[in-house]
Structure 1
């Protein structure tokens, strides 16, 4: 995801940046989880890959 919110180009939806509020909002809504659950899943996955985090959340 681009950090410049004014840019409307394609964004990197393959990585999760838990340090950016707008990304946390996007991913928590997409996965239907809380911020804490998202952070825990990123830690457990050992990666910021959206696919890896999604797999953890589906377990």
Structure 2
């Protein structure tokens, strides 16, 4: 299902959609990891941006 860009707010900002390539690309570039690593993190930790951010930082260490 395509992302409805007319619906914005904190609920949408707090989650990452692995099905939206631009979100995965942004997350990967933000943390300096590959898109494959970003997808793996999202798959393992779910769509929570906070949990994924923590996992990405831990991966970089």
TM-score range (shorter-chain normalised) is 0.5 to 0.7
TM-score (norm 1): 0.67
Ranges of 4+ aligned residues in structure 1 off by more than 2 Å: 2-5, 9-13
Q: Which residue of 2 aligns with 1:23?
A: 23
Q: Which runs of 5+ in 2 are unaligned?
A: none
- Measured on the aligned residues, the alpha-carbon RMSD in Å equals 2.3
TM-score (norm 2): 0.65
Total equivalences in the alignment: 55
Q: Which has the higher helix share?
A: 2
